[in-house]
Amino acid sequence: MQPETSNSYRRKFNLSDRLISALDAGLRTVFTPTRATRPSPSASVPQAELSVEEKQQAAALMRVNHVGEICAQALYESQALFSRSESLRKHFEQAAQEELDHLAWTADRLTELGSHTSHLAPAWWMGAFAWGSLAGLAGDKWSLGFVVETERQVEAHLASHLQRLPEADAASRAIVDQMRREEAEHADAAAAAGARPLPAPIPELMRTAAKVMTTVAHRI
Ligand SMILES: [Fe+2]
Ligand SMILES: [Fe+2]
């Protein structure tokens, strides 16, 4: 009886321990500046002088993308928290680390554009953490399916931003294009890991939630 008791105690302890770690990561994501581990793609392109209108237009789009990266952190952290297999947990934690560069690049670009990140960052993080927790609790293959669907939607969304960003803003465009390519890789990796395609109406619900987020974050 003794080993069983201590095992179940250890499992509980590990889950609460990881929950605290995820919440700690969330607080850092939302409230402290993130330092990128790779140079920003904007560093290698010539900086153009932008008009006030161009800066405002670019900042609104980059703020939306920064919120997307806050959500990516919350999703991967929560999915790692509830994943059944240790290897998938490591996969999600590794993905969250890679997404930190996107978070840092978009935040830094907003500063360069003289603008700010979303004032609703804590709410975006909590909402995405709830979505990711549901996906994680549904099981590993569904959780991976959720990653594939999310990353594909983000990839399409970033492609649309390449059409909408000011032509002269090569710096923002370079960041968005690099992120778009990496989100596609994240989707491919999750698909290769055994993702199960999500049934209707879940992808549509996700699109609706994303639409609410992008509309609000565009402004605040
Ligand atoms: Fe990302
Ligand atoms: Fe991604």
Ligand 1 centre to CA of 99 (Å) is: 5
pLDDT tens over the chain, length 220 residues: 444 444 444 455 588 888 888 888 888 888 888 889 999 999 999 888 999 999 999 999 999 999 999 999 999 999 988 888 988 988 888 888 889 999 999 999 999 999 999 999 999 999 999 999 999 999 999 999 999 999 999 999 999 999 999 999 999 999 999 999 999 999 999 999 999 999 999 999 989 988 888 888 887 8
Ligand 2 centre to CA of 184 (Å) is: 7
| In the block, residue with structure tokens 């095992």 | 7
Ligand 1 centre to CA of 148 (Å) is: 13
Do residues 147 and 131 touch, judged by C-beta distance below 8 A? no
How remote is the C-alpha of 16 from its chain's centroid?
23
Ligand 2 centre to CA of 14 (Å) is: 26
Do residues 54 and 168 touch, judged by C-beta distance below 8 A? yes
3-state secondary structure of 197: coil
pLDDT value of residue 9: 47
Report the distance separating Cα 171 and Cα 136, nearest Å. 36
Model-level pTM?
A: 0.87
pLDDT value of residue 23: 84
Burial call 146-177: b when 16+ CB within 10 Å, e when fewer: bbbbbbbbbbebbeebeeebbeebbbbbbbbb
Ligand 2 centre to CA of 47 (Å) is: 26
3-state secondary structure of 198: coil
Ligand 2 centre to CA of 39 (Å) is: 17
Q: Which CATH superfamily is domain 2-34+48-217 in?
A: Ferritin, core subunit, four-helix bundle (1.20.1260.10)
Q: Share the mean pLDDT of the chain.
A: 89
Domain ranges of the chain: 2-34+48-217
Name the token pair of 38.
């790779």
Ligand 2 centre to CA of 182 (Å) is: 6
Q: Which residues surround ligand 1, an ion (CB under 5 A)?
A: 72, 99, 102
